Homo-oligomer: A and B are copies of this chain.
Amino acid sequence: MTILLPEPAPLRDLIDAFKRLPGVGERTARRMAYHLLQNDVVGAQTLSRALDQATTTLVHCQRCNSFSETEICLTCSNPQRDPSLLCIVETPADQNMIEASHSYNGLYYVLMGRLAPLEGVGPKDLQFQRIANRAQESAVKEVILATNYTAEGETTAHHLAEFLRGQGIKLSRLARGVPAGSELEYVDASTIAWALMERKST
């Protein structure tokens, strides 16, 4: 969309700032700016303050690398959690989904990304050495690799496994198979192939 009308600079700057968000182009950024300015000025001010607060107060937890207000986050400092299990996930959203399963009570390490050679994200960017140090702490008995089942997530899990192997830690990966509640007819063929390969005797 070419802009032809003279546009006030603060409006132009706001639209450009929205375009830095993932998945937001010119049209969406415009819609967001118009909406806030026309219908929700309080929302605009709230968002401005929230951004300011978040960028100034949030740090990475020194143990799990997730966002935290304190040096060690609430999850890592919770004595109820089992320190012998360490689950490695890509993002806080993934961490939250595992939590939602109500079947894990160990600790986490959040990569805050995945290996993406094409974007120049390598093992150093993900601080593999830091993960290795964390995994070697005496309390840790098992590391669960819970990166996504995408090409990049699988690559990350593979390289992490290579990196952590031979240090006497048990490594595991989330099981692959047919999703809960699904009808076989509607499951894609590669999932069925996986489920067959990794079938369990009952």
Residues of B within 8 Å of A40, CB to CB, are 20
A190 to chain B, nearest CB (A): 25
Given the known interface contacts A22-B32, A54-B33, A69-B8, the answer about A38 and B100 at a Cβ–Cβ threshold of 8 Å is no
Interface size class of A (residues with CB under 8 A): 35 or more
Q: Which residue from B4, B13, B31 sits with its C-beta under 8 Å from A96?
A: B4
* Copies of this subunit: 2
The segment out of A44-52, A145-153, A154-162, A163-171 that lies at the interface is: A44-52
- Residues of the B chain whose Cβ atoms lie less than 8 Å from the Cβ of A96: 1, 3-5
The one of B22, B38, B67, B113 that contacts A8, using a Cβ cutoff of 8 Å: B67
Instruction: Judge whether A189 is part of the interface by a CB distance below 8 angstroms.
Output: no
Query: Chain A: residues with CB nearer than 8 A to chain B?
Result: 1-6, 8-11, 13-14, 16-18, 20-23, 27-28, 30-38, 40-41, 43-55, 57-58, 67-69, 73-75, 91-93, 95-97, 99-100, 112-113
Report 8 cross-chain contacts, Cβ distance below 8 Å, ordered by A residue: A6-B74, A8-B57, A10-B50, A10-B57, A23-B28, A44-B54, A47-B47, A47-B48
